[in-house]
Structure formats: C-alpha cells, structure tokens
C-alpha cells in the first residue's frame, strides 16, 4: 500500500529532506517507529521514549507534511492584515477564550453555545489533509477537529434547510485588519448542506497535535479539503441554516474569480493566473521551486465528485 502512496510524490519534489521525511512516513504507515528500528540495531538502553505512531486513516494523505512553522506563519487572515506574514505577527495578543458560537436558522436546536458545548472535544480526530489556496500555493497539514456532519446533526436542521453559513467574529478592537474596509466584515462562508454532511469537512480546533494558533483561526475554523482555501473560514462565531444559497465574502466581492462552490479545478484558470499547478510548501521544498500539478477536487474526487452529478464542473470554480 505504501508503494502506491510513495509514487504519488513527484521526482521533481524529492530532495534528501523529503526522502528522509517520506521514509519516516512509510515507517508510520507500517506502524513502526524510527526508535523501533533502532531497537533491533543497537539494543534497548539508548532508546528515547516515542509515542506510538498511529496508522494512516482512510482520508489521510501520506505526502510530506508542511512544517508547523510554515503552516502557522504564511497564510491569509485579513482580519489581521493582508500580507501572508501578518496573521502570525498581528494576532499574538488575540485571546480566543471565552468563545461562544451562535447557531440560528432552520434547525430544531438553536441558541448561543460555549465552544465546548458547540462541539464535543472528545470527538476530535486528526486528519492529514492537503490544502490548496486559490493563489496557487498548497500545504499538507495534520488538523485536529470534529467532522462537520456530526456537529450539524447535533443541531437537527429542518428539511427546509439547504445551506449552512458560517460567520467570523467582527471585533475591530481585537482584529486590527477590520479597522480598514478591505472586506465586507464579518467574513462569511457557506456550503450546500449535502456538501457539509460529507465526511470530509472538519470544524477544526487544533493542528499538529496542539491548539490552533491564532493565525490559523483559533479557536474554531472550517476545513473543506476539496475546495480552495478561502472556504476555510476562521474565527467562527456563527452557524446558520438557510433555505437559499447565501451571499459569501469572496463571491460577493468578485463572483467571476471566486465562485460559491470553489471546487479545486486545474482546468478552470483564475482570470489572472493558471490553476493548473501549485507551489507545495512542504519539508524540503523552498517557496518558489516545487510546482506540482493541481488535482481535480484537490485529489478528493473519489469522496466528493458524486455531489456534483449533472452540474458543469467548469462552473464550480
């Protein structure tokens, strides 16, 4: 099985560092650890304590991971500024607790919930997902979160509900980027309810086994791995069930560039650049050299393509 996965790595990406990482990943896939190999080679005394490696889950990618450092210091979160380094630099003092989420619209259970009532932290799982920004960079990140489908079910949406919409905190005193009219604050994003009920989307509260950094949307953000990164709304304080397709931030700003669906599709270029390939930010790849082909649905087609049967994929950019 790991042979198929290893062949997913393009030769152009392989550097001594990625080879090393990949080897560790293969050992992990086999349920072995580097320490486990050392045991047979050199005896028990020198062994450092190692946590048991978990086997890869069915939705996990085995590709080389982006480092925590890179994933938490290079991203978009306009509430803290528009440069990719701004979110990490300018969110340092943000306090993501206490935190409440307001659930409203077409559901049986609505109201204002403390974060730990909104989602059960015991139901968190780790998923190693690719993420693809519309700006053509991508990362591989181990997220910690609860499947969105489980959370939605706990609020019992009515049969009229066809969409779910999320809203980011609006608090210019705590979010300096909101003092400028860059976007129509608060940031909002949404999914069709059947997309939201697919097993892949996660409501995330952590990454790399730790709490979510502020720059990555603490304490609560969405991850939808087959869509462009802007669907992954951060700093969520609201979830609403709607009958009609909601207007969302980027779609509202430039509908020709950022559609509501935002499915990753190498065949539909952004009006100002190609979407056929991406720069993978991962161990061993420098920011400007590792270009790899972009996959339809970001490589998750087997899990999600059926959601769009009968729809023209070229219109779902």
Ligand X SMILES: Nc1nc2c(c(=O)[nH]1)N[C@H]1C(S)=C(S)[C@@H](COP(=O)(O)O)O[C@H]1N2
155 binds, options ligand X, Mo ion, none, Cβ within 5 to 8 A by partner type? none
From the centroid of its chain, how far is CA 299?
A: 14
Q: Verify binding: residue 78, ligand X, rule CB under 6 A.
A: yes
Measured CA to CA in angstroms, residue 301 lies from 10, 27, 126, 293, 296 at distances of 20, 27, 20, 15, 7
* Sole binder of ligand X in the list 216, 248, 265, 275 (CB under 6 A): 216
Q: Which of ligand X, Mo ion, none does residue 233 bind to, with CB < 5 to 8 Å depending on kind?
A: ligand X
Applying CB under 6 A, the span of 58-66, 75-83, 155-163, 240-248 interacting with ligand X comes to 75-83
Query: Please, what is the minimum distance in Å from the beta carbon of residue 228 to Mo ion?
Result: 6
Q: Write the DSSP symbol of residue 232.
A: S
| From the list ligand X, Mo ion, none, partner contacted by residue 106 (C-beta under 5 to 8 A by kind) | none
**Residue found under tokens 């590709």:** 63
> Total residues contacting ligand X (rule CB under 6 A)?
16
CB of 273 vs ligand X, minimal distance in Å: 14
Per CB under 6 A, the list member of 13, 22, 138, 168 interacting with ligand X is: 168
Nearer to ligand X, 119 or 131 (CB): 131
Number of helical (H) and strand (E) elements in the chain, helices listed first: 10, 12
State yes or no: cis peptide before 126, omega within 30 of 0: no
Measure the CA–CA gap between 317 and 312, rounded to whole angstroms.
10
Q: How far apart are CA 2 and CA 229, in angstroms?
A: 28
User: Is residue 79 involved in binding ligand X (CB under 6 A)?
Assistant: yes
Task: Tell me the per-residue interface mask from 228 to 257 with Mo ion, x by CB under 5 A, - otherwise.
Answer: -xx---------------------------
* DSSP per-residue letters across 140-180: EEEEEEEEHHHHHHHT-B-TT--EEEEEE---TTT-GGGGS
- Closest distance to ligand X from the beta carbon of 159 (Å): 30
Residue 261 DSSP symbol: S
In terms of CB distance, is 106 or 227 closer to ligand X? 227
Q: Give bridge partners of residue 278 from the DSSP assignment.
A: 292
Owner of token pair 């700093």: 235
Place of tokens 């809203």: 167
Q: Is 203 in the site for ligand X (CB under 6 A)?
A: no
The contact mask relative to ligand X for 225-244 (x = CB under 6 A, - = no) is: ----xx-xxxx---------
Residues forming the site for Mo ion (CB under 5 A): 76, 133-134, 229-230
Residues forming the site for ligand X (CB under 6 A): 75-79, 131, 133, 168, 187, 216, 229-230, 232-235
């Amino acid at each position: 099985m790991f042979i198929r996965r290893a062949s997913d790595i393009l030769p152009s990406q392989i550097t001594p560092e990625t080879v090393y990482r990949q080897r560790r990943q293969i050992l992990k896939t086999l349920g072995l650890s580097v320490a486990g190999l050392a045991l047979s080679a050199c005896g028990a005394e020198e062994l450092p304590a190692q946590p048991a490696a978990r086997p890869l889950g069915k939705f996990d990618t085995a590709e080389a991971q982006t480092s925590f450092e890179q994933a938490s210091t290079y991203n978009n979160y306009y509430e803290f500024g528009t440069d990719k380094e701004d979110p990490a630099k300018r969110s340092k003092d943000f306090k993501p607790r206490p935190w409440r989420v307001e659930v409203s619209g077409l559901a049986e259970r609505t109201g204002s919930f403390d974060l730990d009532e909104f989602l059960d932290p015991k139901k968190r799982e780790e998923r190693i997902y690719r993420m693809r920004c519309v700006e053509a960079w991508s990362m591989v990140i181990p997220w910690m979160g609860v499947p969105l489908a489980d959370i939605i079910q706990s609020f019992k949406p009515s049969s009229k509900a066809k969409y779910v919409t999320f809203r980011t905190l609006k608090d210019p005193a705590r979010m300096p980027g909101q003092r400028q009219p860059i976007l129509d604050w608060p940031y909002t994003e949404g999914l069709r309810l059947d997309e939201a009920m697919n097993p892949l989307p996660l409501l995330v509260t952590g990454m790399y086994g730790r709490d979510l950094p502020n720059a990555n949307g603490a304490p609560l953000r969405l991850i939808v791995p087959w869509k462009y990164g802007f669907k992954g709304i951060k700093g969520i304080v609201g979830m609403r069930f709607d009958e009609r397709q909601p207007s969302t931030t980027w779609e509202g700003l430039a509908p020709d560039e950022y559609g509501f669906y935002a499915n990753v599709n190498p065949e539909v270029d952004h009006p100002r650049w190609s979407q056929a390939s991406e720069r993978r930010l991962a161990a061993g790849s420098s920011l400007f050299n590792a270009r790899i082909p972009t996959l339809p649905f970001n490589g998750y087609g087997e899990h999600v393509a059926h959601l769009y049967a009968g729809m023209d994929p070229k219109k779902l950019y």
